[in-house]
Structure 1
């Protein structure tokens, strides 16, 4: 896992960030700028064969809790465990008490599979149920298994 705040290719960063955001170039650029300039935000990624293949965007609220704001894996590298690896490497390196994410029905299986607790937030947008996902330090045995 590398820190992407100084990554050399902003086009590559924007392209990967677009994988997990509404495809609006202005919003994507604004979000990337926030990651690059705001000290409460972290952007971390995985590079394979000199190519950025995955990233996670974190917003720190306190030493106790961080929000997993964005997670994106290049379509060619999905289902290889890279998202899980990035989350657990972040947790191991920065040691937050918990990571909180919000998602929709399409990805709760991913979060549940790697140990997040899932809680419905109800219909936040018309016709769209949202879920809060929480991963706490209590999953240390899972973390040890992923790291070995």
Structure 2
């Protein structure tokens, strides 16, 4: 479900905070970008009526989706919600490709659901970043 209009809610901000640099200023900048950029989308994922995760992304005219933020609340991690969020967003938005940039801590998650991983090297001192790409197979008619 689209939760962009709920950006001022504590739960939405808490979930978003899990996927940004742990700094209140960075979180505030991120919220402002979602509020002002009509090309950024923010969707929430519910389980049994409880919001357990979010995905923030852009999608261009060629239907290439770039994941900006993906987070599952800590107590629900490892239960398949992250994968579910991506599967739902594929169903909803019909991208032809999904790309995400991530760190070493999260790269295995993307690898486990079929993303192709490429190292971008050390983008920040001591921090290796990775580009994760997933090509959507067209459905047979």
TM-score by length of 1: 0.85
| C-alpha spacing 1:50/1:25, structure 2 compared with 1 (3 Å) | farther
Matching residue of 1:94: 93
RMSD of aligned residue pairs (Cα, Å): 2.0
Q: 5+ residue gaps in structure 1?
A: 142-148
Shift of 1:37: 3.1
Q: Secondary structure at the match of 1:100?
A: strand
Is residue 83 of structure 2 the alignment partner of residue 66 of structure 1? no
Matching residue of 2:30: 31
Shift of 1:20: 1.3
1: CA distance, partners of 2:4 / 2:28: 14
CA contact (8 A) 1:115 1:139 kept: no
Bigger mean CA deviation after superposition, 90-99 or 33-42: 33-42
Shift of 1:3: 0.6
1: CA distance, partners of 2:138 / 2:114: 7
Shift of 1:108: 1.1
| C-alpha spacing 1:58/1:105, structure 2 compared with 1 (3 Å) | same
Deviations 1:99-132 (A, max 9, x none): 1000111111100110101011111112211110
> Counterparts in 2 of 1:53-132, with a 5 A limit?
53-132=52-131
2: CA distance, partners of 1:17 / 1:38: 16
Is residue 19 of structure 2 the alignment partner of residue 20 of structure 1? yes
Matching residue of 2:4: 5
Q: 5+ residue gaps in structure 2?
A: none
2: CA distance, partners of 1:134 / 1:140: 19
| C-alpha spacing 1:92/1:7, structure 2 compared with 1 (3 Å) | same
- Bigger helix share: 1
CA contact (8 A) 2:7 2:13 kept: no
Shift of 1:8: 7.6
